[in-house]
Amino acid sequence: MFSSEFFRKYARIITVAARIFGIWSILVGTFFLLSAWASTSNRVPNVLVGLLAIAIGVGMLVARPVTVEQVQSIGKSMRNDQE
C-alpha cells in the first residue's frame, strides 16, 4: 500500500520533529528558570516547570531515532486491527 520511501520520509519527519521539540523544551525550561531567578513570586512553580521542561527536552534529544522498520510494523499492526 505504501512504499518504503514513504516510510523513510515519515520516520525522518518524526525524528526531526522530536529533536526540534527537545530543543524548544530546553529553551522553555531555561526561560522558566530565569524567570524564577528574576522574580520572587511563583518561584517554586517556575523552578519545577523549568526543570521538568529541561528533563523532557534532554529526553527527546537522547532518544533513539525512529526507524523505517518501526513505522512499517506500526502500520502493519494498525491494518491488522482494522480487519
Task: Domain ranges for the chain, please list them.
Answer: 4-82
DSSP assignment letter at 63: S
pTM: 0.74
Q: Are 83 and 32 in contact (CB under 8 A)?
A: no
Q: Which run of H or of E encompasses 42?
A: none
Q: Tell me whether residue 38 is exposed, middle or buried, using C-beta atoms within 10 angstroms of its C-beta: 0 to 12, 13 to 18, 19 or more.
A: exposed
User: pLDDT averaged over the chain?
Assistant: 86
- Over residues 14-36, the mean pLDDT reads 94
- Over residues 52-79, the mean pLDDT reads 85
- All three cell numbers of 55, joined, read 528533563
Q: What percent of the chain has pLDDT over 70?
A: 94
Does position 71 have pLDDT exceeding 80, yes or no?
A: no
pLDDT at residue 1 in the model: 58
**DSSP line for 65-78:** PPPHHHHHHHHHHH
